[in-house]
Structure 1
């Protein structure tokens, strides 16, 4: 064996040793990270929880149906009957439209508070909850607007309606207004927009430092391509990292320092139920959403805007931009409210909505 051979073997051993050390450190880091996550989650879940016994996702309904959209997606729809209207006066149907990575369960507390007082319609948007998925291509807000129109035709073909949208649900209502503005002259009686945006979502930093947030946009094409290929792997990883998912849900969904652990778990379950493939195929339409200049139809009806002052996903500044375009709109800011403010501060949001509905009825 030559001196060169001995040197090469020595280098290999050193390389293997370095790689082994790196892997060992990485493994220790992962283990420590998992242990830290579990410690934080367990500590967060200790103590009294006002919603510990709440049956989230369990509701009564009077009719269940499937509405198929123009692009072939089956939407799961539930109808809750209201009281008999006054003679000669038809009561409006309230139609609730949920946000991204959520489902109709987003309106859990509004459904409970308004049951028996109003006829209500709830549905899961494409790729969410119990609705079907798009077979190919990307999801678009234009298609979501058309899907809302299909739900209206199937569940409330005549009479007044009031549209209530959260986050992407609010954007869906904006898309409908752009497509069918005459609806807001004839049938849409009022609109409630909760924690939503009319555009510039690509500029939101999610509470991250700007130097980190600026890398999101160049990654969008990569995410879009990788979504269908790697979604199974990523989804398994998401299910395995439930503690991390719980912590991220608490960080980005809520504004209070110690939200209800049961409530965080409920939202986290909705988030992780939405597949990575669906998420990837929605990103482009959300980041390119720009409807601030086409909100004209909403000026024809009463509008209620609700947003938490600690929403990092659709910040309060976005709601204020909508209010500037709709100067007659009512604006309610919820202190310590995060993105799922209608769950986190249900009583305040319910009070705002019910008061608004009474004023609309009186006018």
Structure 2
């Protein structure tokens, strides 16, 4: 495999969250220039620079998890944010910036295993279930026993919350007092088509697992070549991760940078657990909790039907559908997600204050 081809394939696989989409590999450079010259209201935003008090939490298999804490240690309520596949805790940039205004709330951000600043997992523990156990370790290390917690998860982060509910249902209602699920799924991701017509979607679903395995075996080569495909990666990110045509180029570059920093073999290692994810029954654990579900109406990676299925299983949850919202809706339409989390915190605050009294 030559370097140029490896770069194009790596860019496509990395950006599509290892669900890969080769149809856009032929994007022309003029299209890249046109995208990059769009109005950029966020060009001065400090993406990736917001930092909290660092802490290393060891997972139950010894993998070091990078955690950062914002806000007072004696806060009555803690909100724990879990990010998505091929992203990092920095994907919560706007929520981290704007929710700092909340009184008496501590925020915990962490990088999932093999992502961001956290340590690398071995292949056998690159699973959603293990990520659920990792979330438990983060909660226990950053909060006091009995302290109320709100869990917020995007994409794979939402699946991590579901895995925690499946493996440790006793926490929900006692420790976990609220949940926000953003652009996520309870299962059937193997049916993903990225919006392709059904005929092409069937071919796509059959081909992707083998392609991902093959690229995973050549991870080092593909990673070297991904630099060559940087312009193509920008276009793919813009097309797949976002829906709003006016999205800031700086945000697109920020997301592409997070994806591009995720090693190709990590992308390949986690793909099977995403395709096999099935936690619909675990949602029953959340039925009596205050909950909000946010979906983008043009999300190609976890389409709106997935969020609606979760809402159907949680009839008392609030369902928010964001118009012209893509997969990274917390960056594309940050106010919608920030306000949903703030409203959820307001709903559970009386419980937190009662317990801290």
Change (3 A) 1:221 1:351: closer
1:207-239 CA-to-partner distances (Å, cap 9, x unmatched) read 122222223444455346434420111112222
Partners of 1:249 and 1:267 within 8 A in 2: yes
Alpha-carbon spacing, 1:313–1:36, altered in 2? closer, same or farther (3 Å)? closer
Q: Secondary structure at the match of 1:240?
A: coil
Match of 2:127 in 1: 140
Whole-Å Cα distance in 1 between the matches of residues 33 and 212 of structure 2? 35
2:50 maps to 1:65: no
Please state how far the C-alpha of 1:112 moved relative to its aligned partner. 0.4
Q: Name structure 1 gaps, 5 residues minimum.
A: 1-32, 86-90
Q: Give the TM-score normalised by structure 2.
A: 0.86
Correspondence list, 1:62-141, <5 A: 63-82=53-72, 91-117=76-102, 118-137=105-124, 139-141=126-128
Higher RCO by CA contacts (8 Å cutoff, separation 6 or greater): 2
Q: Aligned to 2:47, which of 56, 71, 74?
A: 56
Over residues 327-358 of structure 1, what are the superposed CA-to-partner deviations in whole Å (9 max), with x where a residue is unaligned? 00001111000000010001122122212221
Map 1:109-258; keep pairs closer than 5 Å. Answer: 109-117=94-102, 118-137=105-124, 139-158=126-145, 159-219=147-207, 222-223=210-211, 225-258=213-246
CA contact (8 A) 1:220 1:284 kept: no
For these two proteins, the number of residue pairs brought into alignment is: 325
> In 1, Cα distance between the equivalents of 2:67 and 2:84?
15
Instruction: Write out per-residue CA displacement over residues 27-70 of structure 1, whole angstroms, 9 at most, x where no aligned residue.
Output: xxxxxx99963211111121421101111011142x21111112
- For structure 2, which runs of at least 5 residues remain unmatched after alignment? 1-23, 352-357
- State the alpha-carbon separation in 2 of the partners of residues 223 and 74 from structure 1: 30
Determine whether 1:352 maps to 2:343: no
Q: CA RMSD in A?
A: 1.9
Paired with 2:282 and 2:48, the residues of 1 have a C-alpha distance of: 35
Pair 1:294 & 2:285 matched: no
- Contact 1:198 1:318 (C-alpha < 8 Å) held by counterparts: yes
Q: Distance in 1 between matches of 2:195 and 2:25?
A: 23
TM-score by length of 1: 0.85
Against the structure 1 CA distance between its residues 204 and 225, is the aligned structure 2 distance closer, same or farther, given a 3 Å change threshold? closer
- In 1: Cα distance, 2:208 partner to 2:248 partner: 33
Cα separation, 2, equivalents of 1:189 and 1:143: 22
- On the 8 A contact 1:295/1:325 being kept in 2, the answer is yes
Structure 2 Cα separation of the partners of residues 122 and 45 of structure 1: 30
